[in-house]
Amino acid sequence: MTIGAILGLVAGLFTTGSLIPQVIQVFKNKSAGDISLLFNLMFLGGGLLWLSYGILDKLVPVIIWNTLATFLIVLLLIGKLKYGTGKR
């Protein structure tokens, strides 16, 4: 495995991993009023574009982390749509 691939895997761990606490927080508190719908939609679009790029260029770290990031952002979007008012 190349240094570039290792760096890509570690970078993806940090950037994609940063979504996990947010997803947990939204579903734990049943509140997503402070999360931007525009952020969710833009992040989803960007993640899908990065995933497409990774697939086309056969970049394994890009494929792995953007698949996971897309899944997490879909969960966050579901939480936003379900709990977006912040009301319990």
Least confident of 20-24, 40-44, 64-68, 84-88: 84-88
Handedness of CA 20, 23, 25, 28 (dihedral sign): negative
Domain ranges, ordered by start, for the chain? 23-83
Confidence category of residue 53, pLDDT binned at 50, 70, 90: very high
Binned at pLDDT 50, 70 and 90, residue 11 comes out as: very high
Output the pTM of the full model: 0.85
Segment 23-42, tens digit of pLDDT: 999 999 999 988 899 999 99
Express each pLDDT in 72-83 by its tens digit.
999 999 999 999
Q: Which of 38, 34, 36, 47 is nearest to 73 (CA)?
A: 47
Indicate the fold that domain 23-83 takes in CATH: Monooxygenase (1.20.1280)
* Cα–Cα dist 80/8, whole Å: 29
Say how far apart CA 23 and CA 37 lie, in whole Å: 14
